[in-house]
């Protein structure tokens, strides 16, 4: 006869396999128990946690375990939508409601009718929109932009934030009534440093998936190297761990990973020569951690530029015609290259990376942000900062 605790364990493991939630830590077990308890009820859920902890995965699990599982799950990143069009995106607009509204458009709430809407980065929602969103939560009513008749939507709302909403309320950036209405159930997803026993499980999964997709072989990892991964604080959480694992598999291809290999990819272990000119953040926010990743890539690009400079110097010195050799003195060439290098400031390099990513993914900000390893909100802010086409 199966005991109730054994039955619960079996149910939890089966649910994890179905939803892709990784972890054996107490924190993850508690989260799964809460998800299984609240998913069947039509109740608003607020998921909180640092960037990269897997909040969207929990939202998908809530939807999958709910009676609405056979309906749509619409994911909306509030931080990636410009304030001026937020209301139109959520609630839709009538034809001619504003300049450029050439036709009627349904909003996300109307599209998600009967299903679930997941509002990520809810803390970025403008105050004006929060008032209208509260109305949807209270009675299911919303109004398209330019309309005079309210509409109804049967939608379950799941929201997520990496901000401290209580502080946002105190600072006047978030409505108090909406905050209390949202947090009917609050699921806090812990950072990776608070569930270190799950790190080997994530490592194994990322290795398996990446090697299978790219036809690579994995020669294993030493206990000392794994312990370094477990002891690292992971400011970028699961997202950062995934990036580090994939980088190691490519750069250290075909060899067993040892402690020295891991140290090269973890900030704080690398040598002073590699870390110079890169800012060090203490008590970093999620946004600072993302910007730090950009600086890391920019630092690597800068080293590549220096290598190209040295190569050009050597080539010019050895290939220039003898009569013109005086024009290509080491000092003159290095000065010219140095001048060009200095003109390409970090901001310009950052701009070029963003433009390149947007071009590569044909303007898809979600894919571009993922490739750059930053949030869509950060990417949108950068697009605005650099005056790039939106």
Once rounded to an integer, what is the mean pLDDT over residues 95-124?
91
pLDDT tens by residue, 140-193: 999 999 988 999 999 999 999 999 999 999 999 999 999 999 988 999 999 999
State which H helix or E strand residue 110 sits in.
Answer: helix 108-111
* Per-residue model confidence (pLDDT) at position 203: 97
pLDDT tens by residue, 330-355: 455 455 545 544 445 567 777 888 88
Question: Do residues 77 and 108 make contact, with C-beta atoms less than 8 angstroms apart?
Answer: no
* Per-residue model confidence (pLDDT) at position 306: 55
Beta strand 185-188 pairing with 45-48: parallel
Q: Which CATH class is domain 193-270?
A: mainly alpha
* Per-residue model confidence (pLDDT) at position 305: 61
CATH (residue range 4-190): 3.40.50.300
Residue 188: helix, strand or coil by DSSP?
strand
Domain spans in the chain, listed from the N-terminal domain onward: 4-190, 193-270, 286-386
Among residues 157, 74, 84, the alpha carbon closest in space to that of 122 is found at: 157
CA 158, 162, 168, 169 dihedral sign is positive
pLDDT for 271 beyond 60: no
CA distances from 349 to 344, 372, 382 (A): 6, 13, 12
Once rounded to an integer, what is the mean pLDDT over residues 299-304?
56
pLDDT tens by residue, 200-250: 999 999 999 999 999 999 999 999 999 999 999 999 999 999 999 999 999
CA distances from 198 to 25, 95, 204, 230, 232 (A): 6, 51, 10, 9, 13
Query: What values do phi and psi take at 165, rounded to 5?
Result: -65, -30
Once rounded to an integer, what is the mean pLDDT over residues 57-82?
95
């Amino acid at each position: 006869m199966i005991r109730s605790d054994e039955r619960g364990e079996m149910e939890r493991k089966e649910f994890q396999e179905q939803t892709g939630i990784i972890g054996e830590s107490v924190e993850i077990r508690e989260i799964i128990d809460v998800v299984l308890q609240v998913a069947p009820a039509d109740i608003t859920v607020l998921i909180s946690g640092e960037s990269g902890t897997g909040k969207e995965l929990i939202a998908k699990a809530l939807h999958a375990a709910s009676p609405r599982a056979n309906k749509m799950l619409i994911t909306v990143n509030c931080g990636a939508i410009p304030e001026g069009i937020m209301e139109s995106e959520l609630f839709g607009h009538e034809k001619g409601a504003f300049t450029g509204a050439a036709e009627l458009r349904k909003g996300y709430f109307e599209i998600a009718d009967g299903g679930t809407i997941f509002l990520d980065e809810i803390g970025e929602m403008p105050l004006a929109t929060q008032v209208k969103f509260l109305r949807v939560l209270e009675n299911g009513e919303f109004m398209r932009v330019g309309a005079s008749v309210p509409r109804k939507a049967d939608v379950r709302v799941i929201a997520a934030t990496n901000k401290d909403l209580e502080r946002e309320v105190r600072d006047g950036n978030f409505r108090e009534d909406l905050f209390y209405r949202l947090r009917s159930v609050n699921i806090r997803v812990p950072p990776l440093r608070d569930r270190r026993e799950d790190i080997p499980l994530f490592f194994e999964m990322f290795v398996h998936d990446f090697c299978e997709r790219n036809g690579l072989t994995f020669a294993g990892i030493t206990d000392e190297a794994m312990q370094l991964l477990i002891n690292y604080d992971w400011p970028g959480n699961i997202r950062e761990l995934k990036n580090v694992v994939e980088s190691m598999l490519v750069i250290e291809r075909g060899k067993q990973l040892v402690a020295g290999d891991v140290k090269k990819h973890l900030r704080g272990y690398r040598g002073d020569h590699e870390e110079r000119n890169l800012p060090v953040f203490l008590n970093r926010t999620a946004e600072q951690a993302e910007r730090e990743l950009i600086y890391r890539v920019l630092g690597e690009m800068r080293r590549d530029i220096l290598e190209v400079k040295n190569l050009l110097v050597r080539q010019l010195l050895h290939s220039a015609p003898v009569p013109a050799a005086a024009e290509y003195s080491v000092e003159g060439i290095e000065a010219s290259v140095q001048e060009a290098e200095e003109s390409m400031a970090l901001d310009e390099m950052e701009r070029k990376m963003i433009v390149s990513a947007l071009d590569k993914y044909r303007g898809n900000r979600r894919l571009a942000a993922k490739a750059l390893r930053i949030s869509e909100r950060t990417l949108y802010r950068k697009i605005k900062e650099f005056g790039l086409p939106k």
